[in-house]
Amino acid sequence: MVSPHDLANFTVNYKFRNYMKKLFIAFVFLTVHAEILLAQDLTANTFGKGIGIYAKDSSFSMKFSTRFQTLYVGELDLNSEEYADQFLVRRARFKFDGHAYTPKLTYKIELGLSNRDHGSPIPETSNTARIILDAVIKWKFYNNMQLWLGQTKLPGNRERVISSQKLQFVDRSLVNSRYTLDRDIGIQLHNKHKFGENFVVKEALALSMGEGRNITSNNMGGYDYTARIEFLPLGEFTSKGDYFGSDLSREKSPKLAIGLTYDFLDGAARQRGQQGKFMRDSAGDLYPTDLATLFVDAIFKYQGFSLAGEYANKKNQDGIVIDLAGGKTLKYYSGTGYVAQAGYLFGNNLEVAGRYTAIQPDDVTISGISEQTEYTLGLSKYIKGHSLKIQNDYSLLGTSTGMDEFRVRFQVELSF
């Protein structure tokens, strides 16, 4: 028979053993968890610079970076007073770049993940999402001469070549959306000369397929020929500042770049060259025409102040209008456009900027676009340059008859 004293001792011993068991399990768990934490890799990479991998024998390198933009857009129709708005992921991307085999052979791969990056599936891309933005090899074969092969941006207007991560406003202007050359696949030759102490000249030539990115069908029109030249009479910008918005480098001396691009697309198959609908009638027959595009652009920066402007002119030789079923039509985009913008970056990295945009079609019935003007006020807070920033802008949009729409946009950009 168990006495009360023995029962009390058993209970105490049981509770003690149970307590020690739990304590041991907790100790093991914390020890293993601490080992896992200590085993995590620490990197010397810093925010905004991506994650770098370098071969011990220097035979290759790779930098991985990612970014996304969360955007709010609200639009007020000034005629009907109706308001419409939306939140969306404007862009979300992965980027890989580095060198392979030799530092003279570099590469860039950029993938688009958001719906806006993909675009709508079309037969010419095998009805699949257009995920690949850039896939290009660059070979520096002699001095400053580089040969590019693959899919990437053509050397067109400056506003387009500037990354969407590094814009001064929430997004590019109407001039770019109407007349840009965009991405294409082919071959490019880039070069840079220096005359005297400061004067720099950059040249680029491109031969491409002419129908845009990720096309899987055979070439439907002719080829696209692009030539660009840039003059930097006051020397090169700090940290390639001629290709990002705002004077984040706060140039200590005035810097100016002037660019000129001419593009001839022989037998364009799409409304805007590399973009837009394919010019097919209801029976599926294609009606190509030649498109010629001229861009003139300039950018100036000094001690936080920046000024930039572009002129675009796109000509459609034949003025083709395709009649579709249901009374609809397809037209090539042609006409002229102007954009000018200026901003000042204060000491706390808060910037105020303004932009004026004008679109003037050759003929409304042929160009497929209407005359448009846009006035934009932008406010940006650069927390970590263009890698972490908050931007919002306010725009009035209208035609020759007056203002039709007020638009507000708010965007957060995160990139590492």
Q: DSSP letters of 28-48?
A: HHHHHHHHHHHHSPP----TT
Cβ burial of 179 (10 Å; 0-12, 13-18, 19+) is buried
CB 224 within 8 A of CB 264: yes
pLDDT at 384: 95
Which burial class, exposed, middle or buried, applies to 226 when counting CB atoms under 10 A from its CB (0-12, 13-18, 19+)? Answer: buried
Both tokens of 303, joined, read: 């001690």
What Cα–Cα distance (Å) separates residue 271 from each residue in 223, 367, 373?
15, 9, 21
Query: Does the residue 172 lie in any domain?
Result: yes
The whole-angstrom distance between residue 300's C-alpha and the CA centroid of its chain comes to 21
80 domain residue, yes or no: no
Per-residue pLDDT, 112: 96
Pair 265, 273: CB distance under 8 Å? yes
Q: How many domains does the chain have?
A: 1
Residue 295 phi, psi (nearest 5): -125, 140
Which residues pair with residue 109 across a beta bridge?
96, 135
Helix (H) or strand (E) holding 414: strand 402-415
pLDDT at 12: 47
pLDDT attached to residue 22: 57
Please give the single-letter amino acid code of residue 278.
F
Q: Kindly report whether the global pTM for this prediction surpasses the value 0.75.
A: yes
CA nearest to 223, candidates 254, 250, 192, 263: 263
Give the per-residue pLDDT at 38. 52
Tokens of 251: 């140039």
Range of the domain at 267: 50-65+90-371
Q: Is residue 389 domain-resident?
A: no
Q: Distances in Å between the alpha carbon of 209 and those of 79, 218, 236, 378?
A: 43, 10, 32, 37
Residue 198 lies in a domain: yes
> What pLDDT score was predicted for residue 402?
83
The neighbouring-strand residues paired with 100 are 60, 102
- pLDDT tens-digit profile, the chain (416 residues): 545 455 445 444 555 556 555 555 655 555 555 555 455 667 778 888 899 999 999 999 999 999 999 999 999 999 999 999 999 999 999 999 999 999 999 999 999 999 989 877 888 999 888 999 999 999 999 999 999 999 999 999 999 999 999 999 999 999 999 999 999 999 999 999 999 999 999 999 999 999 999 999 998 888 999 999 999 999 999 999 999 999 999 999 999 999 999 999 999 999 999 999 998 888 888 989 999 999 999 999 999 999 999 999 999 877 788 888 777 888 888 999 999 999 999 999 999 999 999 999 987 777 777 899 999 999 999 999 999 999 999 999 998 778 899 999 999 999 99
> In whole angstroms, how far apart are CA 137 and each of 151, 164, 189?
9, 21, 12
At a CB cut-off of 8 Å and minimum separation 6, what does 35 contact?
none
Tokens of 83: 């308001």
- Domain-located, residue 109: yes
Q: For position 120, what pLDDT does the model report? A: 79
Asked whether residue 83 is domain-assigned, the answer is no
Question: Residue 180 maps to which CATH number?
Answer: 2.40.160.10
Element (H, E) at 365: helix 364-367
400 falls within a domain? no
Q: Is residue 322 part of a domain?
A: yes
Q: In DSSP terms, which residues pair with 255 in a beta bridge?
A: 301
